[in-house]
């Protein structure tokens, strides 16, 4: 995971580096042309602007720790930017744009702390430039240089904004995916108990506002331990998985929420469903499960389920009393011989 993260970061910094250094080269070149610099300076500008971005990318990809080397290369970018400022005699507009592009990239890559590191790298670059070319101060900018600066001024912020947007969008998708995983039970792929109970509480609060009939089914796979003992735990897992698939499929037409309450016990919330309709659905589902054999490693066997039904009512002043009512009805179904449906009554 760390290597993949590092490579992703290296790739993400590649395009901003190419655009920032290559577009920044043209304003610098216009000043160098006016100052009539020698061939060696032009070669240095070419290497820094058009060769270094690709070298940094390849070297970072091949590194043992791509993430760390990518940050080092960003600091080298900042040194390069700083180096050219004294060379062009601190011509004001190219300098501001060059530094701004470097700053945007550093902030987007590593936040405020890395921005400060990049600023120190800029200062190191300025010092190197002064050592090589001396200190000269001429902040005036020609009209030609200003025109040449426009592509960097327009394109680079858009590019950084686009990269940041896509990164934040991707991060949001990953967060949603993690949240979804945290809501699900791994084996059944139904909601886990914690999240399912939050949905039960939400349904309870909606009932308080709308008075729409809502029922809850608590379902238990009968003699599940015997299935594990006779056919093995893998067979038990297969029963859980196939039962969960059938549960989702059967109640798909209802506004339902399915959860694995624990072990072989499951909960179903049926919105806009009264007790009579819920009882009919529960009986039909129970019969469907009992009639369908399951195959495991060439062996076929049947299993049954017991179901407790409870319709929410105004006397239940907490959502868990509703869950408890369905659980009591389920207990009655199990103690009455299993493979049946029982409805909660006050006498339950």
Q: Going from the first residue of the chain to its last (348 residues), give the mean pLDDT of each consecutive group of 10, the final group possibly shorter.
A: 67 85 87 91 95 94 90 94 94 86 85 92 95 88 78 72 72 76 88 92 92 94 93 93 93 80 93 93 96 91 96 91 95 95 80
pLDDT at 307: 97
pLDDT at 270: 94
Query: How far is C-alpha 257 from the geometric centre of its chain's CA atoms?
Result: 23
pLDDT at 2: 44
Verdict on whether the full-model pTM lies above 0.75: no
CATH 3.30.70.270 maps onto the chain at 193-343
Query: E-assigned strands of the chain?
Result: 215-221, 256-262, 265-270, 294-296, 299-301, 305-311, 341-343
| Cα gap 339→344, rounded to integer Å | 16
The CATH fold assigned to 193-343 is Alpha-Beta Plaits (3.30.70)
Structure tokens at 97: 């744009």
| Cα gap 285→129, rounded to integer Å | 80
Question: Left, alpha or beta for 272 (phi > 0: left; psi -120 to 50: alpha)?
Answer: left
pLDDT at 171: 73
pLDDT at 254: 62
């Amino acid at each position: 995971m760390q290597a993949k993260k590092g490579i992703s970061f290296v790739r993400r910094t590649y395009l901003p580096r190419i655009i920032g250094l290559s577009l920044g080269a043209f304003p610098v070149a216009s000043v160098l042309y006016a100052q009539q610099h020698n061939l060696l300076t032009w070669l240095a500008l070419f290497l820094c602007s058009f060769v270094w971005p690709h070298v940094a990318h390849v070297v970072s990809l091949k590194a043992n720790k791509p993430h760390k080397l990518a940050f080092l290369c960003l600091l080298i970018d900042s040194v390069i930017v700083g180096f050219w400022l004294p060379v062009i005699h601190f011509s004001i507009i190219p300098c501001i744009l060059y530094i701004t592009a470097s700053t945007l990239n550093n902030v987007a890559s590593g936040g405020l702390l890395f921005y400060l590191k990049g600023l120190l790298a800029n200062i190191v670059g300025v010092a190197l430039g002064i050592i090589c070319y001396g200190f000269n101060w001429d902040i005036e900018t020609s009209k030609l240089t200003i025109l040449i600066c426009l592509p960097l001024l327009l394109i680079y912020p858009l590019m950084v904004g686009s990269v940041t947007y896509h990164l934040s969008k991707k991060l949001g998708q990953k967060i949603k995916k993690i949240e979804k995983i945290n809501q699900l039970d791994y084996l059944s792929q139904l909601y886990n108990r914690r999240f399912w109970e939050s949905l039960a509480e939400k349904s309870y609060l909606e009932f308080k506002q709308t008075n729409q009939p809502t029922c809850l089914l608590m379902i238990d796979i009968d003699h599940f331990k015997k299935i594990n003992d006779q056919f093995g735990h893998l067979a038990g897992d297969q029963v859980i998985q196939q039962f969960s698939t059938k549960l989702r499929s059967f109640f798909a037409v209802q506004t339902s929420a399915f959860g694995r309450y624990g072990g072989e016990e499951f909960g179903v919330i049926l919105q806009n469903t009264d007790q009579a309709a819920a009882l009919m659905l529960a009986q039909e589902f129970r019969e469907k499960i009992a009639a369908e054999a399951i195959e495991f490693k060439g062996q076929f066997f049947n299993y049954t389920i017991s179901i407790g039904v409870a319709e929410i009512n105004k006397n239940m002043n907490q959502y868990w009393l509703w869950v408890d009512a369905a659980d009591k009805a389920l207990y009655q179904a199990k103690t009455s011989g299993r493979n049946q449906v029982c409805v909660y009554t006050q006498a339950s």
